[in-house]
């Protein structure tokens, strides 16, 4: 028998305490080698005036144990209360969200009885930084940030996860036909990392058709790695496809800390009645046991739990007349799983975790520095004059412009409206005006030239709302082109 592992346990809100008690009963009976330290998270902490929902001493326990087994929490509406999940995820750098989605048909009704996949979602980047702005009367923006180190770590984690859990294929879904730089980076890094794992099959799909295929034939997928937003959406879809969101567990993995839980929430509507299904949190527990190197116990728990399902012993949420044999409450369900520890399911495929090893956390790899040259600037304006004719705006901008830069393009919502715009294009009050370096080959474009341009634009009573500097990194252009751009002029990059 190996050493015991210290874990932090949060009993949570709503049905949390009931399902936690049931899960701990099962884990203990299965011989899990755990030293439990309880922490307070959620409602009781919010009510004590701590807006993060995390008690100050909980941080110490989480850092000391490095493993959190957490019941669902209720986030109070309004009042500036922050979601504990989001705070823990961001503060502790829990970069990977892992959500297995397996069907247990016919015991849980589903149209996809063969599905057994794992979603690995990047957890910290993308549009989830909360960097949003209102820029004009009509336009709001949200910044999408994809980093090379963040992408490399999640993709590598997905391949390591596949290898360590005996899975054969990793699929990656992005929209890089549209977002060529951000999603393009995710796809490119995926291809680079995939090349290092020749024992594992890899594929990339555009996210729209990829999602359609997951919804149609989820059994053809194994491990799926995704940027944050697509992962958030698709992991709920895959949980639903299994027939019940209530049975899914998930983990949030960081470099030194990992958190395990059910997918579902605190179910206040049935709290205190002792009827909740503890399976989601129990499956979180199975992920935890594999993570801390107790795969023997994980296998025992998972198989006994499937045998219980198969014997028709069901809580109310999955109970079906004719199919189920006995409707049980939370405690009775846990007792039934305990009785079956050591047994294997007969109709469902038993799990075999004998080869499963803890997934090593890939280190963050820093990106080598490239020569960075400044080639121009996109100036964004709030402009709402007359009939919003882009030709009028272009004339005003050309008048304000100096010698170093040339106005090459104006777009509205990314659609080119000058030069050669179409009269049908709908224009908001938000204009992106591109200026590119006109200096002779080898001449430098300095930031001060851009600041001088901005002053002149301001002097012309045009309202600048933001700028984006246009860089080249080595040979690579660091900005997207508008339609028809980059075809007629070859610009020579100049060093900053
Ligand atoms: P929910 O998942 O709590 O409940 C949705 C429905 O599913 C309810 O009808 C509920 O009774 C049922 N249900 C959920 N879990 C069940 C279980 N184990 N057994 C039987 N039935 C179950 O979603 P919600 O109502 O939208 O959210 C309630 C609260 O949970 C909110 O405060 C929300 O912020 C929080 N929440 C927390 C987490 C988390 O801590 N990870 C996740 C999601 C929601």
Domain ranges across the chain: 1-93+252-353, 111-241, 372-477
Ligand 1 test: best mutation among 259, 265, 268, 330, most atoms within 8 Å of CB? 265
Nearest-angstrom CA–CA distance, 494 and 446: 9
From ligand 1's centre to the CA of 215, what distance in Å?
23
From ligand 1's centre to the CA of 266, what distance in Å?
4
From ligand 1's centre to the CA of 26, what distance in Å?
22
In this structure, the residue with its CA closest to atom 39 of ligand 1 is 72
Q: Tens digit of pLDDT per residue, the chain (496 long)?
A: 578 999 999 999 999 999 999 999 999 999 999 999 999 999 889 888 888 899 999 999 999 999 999 999 988 777 777 788 888 988 999 999 999 999 999 999 999 999 999 999 999 999 988 899 999 999 999 999 999 999 999 999 999 999 999 999 999 999 999 999 999 999 999 999 999 999 999 999 999 999 999 999 999 999 999 999 999 999 999 999 998 888 999 999 999 999 999 999 999 999 999 999 999 999 999 999 999 999 999 999 999 999 999 999 999 999 999 989 999 999 999 999 999 999 999 999 999 999 888 888 888 889 999 989 999 999 999 999 989 999 999 999 999 998 889 999 999 999 999 999 999 999 999 999 999 998 766 566 999 999 999 999 999 999 999 999 999 998 899 999 987 676 444 333 333 3
Contact yes or no for 438/493 (Cβ under 8 A): no
Which atom of ligand 1 lies at the shortest distance from residue 261's CA?
41
From ligand 1's centre to the CA of 263, what distance in Å?
8
Which atom of ligand 1 lies at the shortest distance from residue 264's CA?
2
Contact yes or no for 19/276 (Cβ under 8 A): yes
In degrees to the nearest 10, what's the CA dihedral of 249, 252, 253, 255?
-160
In this structure, the residue with its CA closest to atom 13 of ligand 1 is 267
In this structure, the residue with its CA closest to atom 7 of ligand 1 is 267
Ligand 1 test: best mutation among 267, 272, 316, 330, most atoms within 8 Å of CB? 267
Which atom of ligand 1 lies at the shortest distance from residue 76's CA?
32
This prediction has a pTM of 0.92
Instruction: Give pLDDT, residue 441.
Output: 60
Q: Which residues line ligand 1 (CB under 6 A)?
A: 15, 72-75, 85, 246, 261, 264-270, 276-277, 280, 317
Which atom of ligand 1 lies at the shortest distance from residue 276's CA?
19
Instruction: Give pLDDT, residue 442.
Output: 56
Those residues whose C-beta lies under 8 Å from the C-beta of residue 251, and which sit 6 or more positions away, are 96, 97, 98, 258, 259, 260, 261, 284, 287, 288, 291
Q: Tokens 């090459």, residue?
A: 408
From ligand 1's centre to the CA of 334, what distance in Å?
20
In this structure, the residue with its CA closest to atom 41 of ligand 1 is 72
Ligand 1 test: best mutation among 263, 264, 280, most atoms within 8 Å of CB? 264
Which atom of ligand 1 lies at the shortest distance from residue 317's CA?
20
Fold observed for domain 372-477:
Alpha-Beta Plaits (3.30.70)
Those residues whose C-beta lies under 8 Å from the C-beta of residue 59, and which sit 6 or more positions away, are none
**Which CATH code, of 3.30.465.10, 3.40.50.300, 3.40.718.10, 3.90.950.10, is assigned to 1-93+252-353?**
3.40.718.10
In this structure, the residue with its CA closest to atom 27 of ligand 1 is 265
Contact yes or no for 322/334 (Cβ under 8 A): no
From ligand 1's centre to the CA of 287, what distance in Å?
20
With helix as H, strand as E and coil as C, how does the chain read? Answer: CCCCEEEEEECCCCCHHHHHHHHHHHHHHCCCCEEEEECCECHHHHHCCCCCCECHHHHHHHHHHCEEEECCCCCCCCCCCCCHHHHHHHHCCCCEEEEEEECCCCCCCCCCCCCEEEEEEECCCEHHHCCEEECCCCCEEECCECCHHHHHHHHHHHHHHHHHCCCCEEEEEECCCCCCCHHHHHHHHHHHHHCCCCCCEEEEEEHHHHHHHHHHCHHHCCEEEECHHHHHHHHHHHHHHCCCHHHCEEEEECCCCEEEEECCCCCHHHCCCCCCCCHHHHHHHHHHHHHCCCHHHHHHHHHHHHHHHHCCEEECCCCCCCCCCEEECHHHHHHHHHHCCCCCCCCCCCCCCCCCCCCCCCCCCCCCCCCEEEEEEEEEEECCCCCCCHHHHHHHHHHHCCCCEEEEEEEECCEEEECCCCCCCCCCCEEEEEEEECCCCCCCCCHHHHHHHHHHHHHCCCEEEEEEEEEEECCEECCCCCCCCCCCCCCCCCEC
Whether 111-241 and 372-477 share one fold: the answer is no
From ligand 1's centre to the CA of 395, what distance in Å?
57
From ligand 1's centre to the CA of 264, what distance in Å?
5
Give the three-state DSSP class for 231.
helix
The yes/no answer on whether domain 111-241 falls in CATH 3.40.718.10 is yes
In this structure, the residue with its CA closest to atom 14 of ligand 1 is 267
In this structure, the residue with its CA closest to atom 10 of ligand 1 is 267
Which atom of ligand 1 lies at the shortest distance from residue 72's CA?
40
Give the three-state DSSP class for 220.
helix
């Amino acid at each position: 028998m190996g050493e015991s592992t210290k874990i932090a346990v949060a009993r949570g809100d709503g049905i949390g305490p009931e399902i936690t008690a049931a899960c701990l009963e099962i884990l203990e009976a299965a011989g899990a080698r755990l030293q439990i330290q309880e922490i307070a998270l959620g409602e009781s902490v919010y009510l004590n005036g701590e807006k993060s929902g995390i008690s100050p001493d909980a941080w110490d326990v989480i850092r000391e144990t490095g493993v959190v087994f957490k019941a669902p929490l209720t986030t109070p509406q309004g009042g500036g209360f922050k979601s504990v999940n989001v705070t823990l995820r961001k503060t502790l750098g829990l970069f990977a969200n892992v959500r297995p989605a397996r069907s247990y048909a016919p015991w849980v009704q589903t149209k996809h009885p063969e599905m057994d996949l794992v979603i690995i979602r990047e957890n910290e980047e993308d549009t989830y930084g909360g960097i949003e702005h209102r820029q004009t009367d009509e336009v709001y923006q949200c910044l999408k940030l994809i980093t090379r180190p963040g992408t490399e770590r999640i993709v590598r984690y997905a391949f390591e996860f596949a290898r360590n859990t005996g899975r054969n294929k990793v699929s990656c879904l992005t929209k890089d036909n549209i977002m060529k730089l951000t999603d393009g980076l995710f796809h490119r890094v995926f291809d680079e990392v995939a090349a290092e794992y020749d024992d594992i099959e890899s594929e990339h799909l555009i996210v729209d058709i990829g999602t359609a295929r997951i919804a149609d034939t989820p059994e053809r997928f194994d491990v799926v790695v995704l940027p944050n937003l697509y992962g958030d959406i698709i992991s709920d879809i895959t949980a639903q496809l299994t027939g019940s969101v209530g049975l899914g567990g998930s983990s949030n993995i960081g470099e030194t800390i990992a958190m395990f839980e059910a997918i579902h929430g605190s179910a206040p509507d049935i709290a205190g009645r002792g009827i909740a299904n503890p399976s989601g949190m129990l499956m979180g527990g199975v992920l935890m046991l594999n993570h801390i190197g107790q795969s023997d116990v994980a296998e025992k728990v998972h198989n006994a739990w499937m045998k219980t399902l198969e014997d028709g012993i069901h809580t109310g949420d999955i109970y079906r007349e004719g199919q189920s044999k006995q409707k049980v409450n939370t405690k009775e369900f846990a007792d039934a799983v305990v009785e079956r520890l050591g047994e294997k399911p007969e109709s469902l495929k038993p799990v075999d975790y004998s080869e499963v090893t803890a997934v090593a956390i890939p280190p963050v790899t820093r990106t080598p520095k490239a020569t960075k040259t400044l080639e121009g600037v996109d100036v964004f304006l709030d402009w709402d004059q007359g009939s919003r004719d882009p030709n009028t705006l272009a004339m005003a901008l050309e008048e304000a412009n100096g010698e170093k830069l040339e106005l090459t393009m104006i777009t509205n919502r990314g659609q080119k409206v000058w030069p050669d715009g179409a009269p049908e294009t709908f224009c908001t009050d938000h204009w992106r005006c591109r200026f590119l370096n006109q200096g002779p080959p080898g001449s430098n474009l300095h930031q001060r030239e851009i600041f001088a341009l901005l002053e002149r634009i301001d002097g012309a009573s045009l309202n600048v709302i933001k700028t984006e500097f246009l860089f080249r990194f080595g040979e690579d252009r660091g900005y997207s082109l508008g339609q028809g751009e980059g075809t007629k002029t070859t610009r020579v990059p100049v060093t900053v």
